[in-house]
Amino acid sequence: MDNLECLTSEDPYCANESGRKSHHSEKTKKNLVTRLNRVEGQIRGIKGLIERDVYCDDVITQIAATQAALNSVAKILLEGHMKSCVLERIQEGDADVVDELLVTIQKLMKK
């Protein structure tokens, strides 16, 4: 299964309670999946560093790089979300999406 494709409309990774789904272009999906595969490799690498008792500072550096890579994925998703999902809902008269967006941004900014 493609990492961003849904198995069913009830799949919690693809739709929320309202049944809404994201609609990324194939190019964007490929970019996101490539980035996430890279992050997955970084995580495995960090695990290996810990298993080999690598110096803590070096492990922390790799963790920071992985967090930056995940933040990059989140930025791409947020941009697409704002340009498509949020814009569509505002055009449909659903102003509640702004509150939802603010909550999402707060989640991204937590450290």
The tens digit of pLDDT for each residue in 47-75 reads: 999 999 999 999 999 999 999 999 999 99
pLDDT at 44 > cutoff 80: yes
Task: Report the topology of domain 26-109.
Answer: Methane Monooxygenase Hydroxylase; Chain G, domain 1 (1.20.58)
- 24, 32 in Cβ contact below 8 A? yes
* pTM for the model: 0.76
Rounded CA separation 42/104 (Å):
25
Structure tokens at 23: 């609609």
pLDDT at 7 > cutoff 70: no
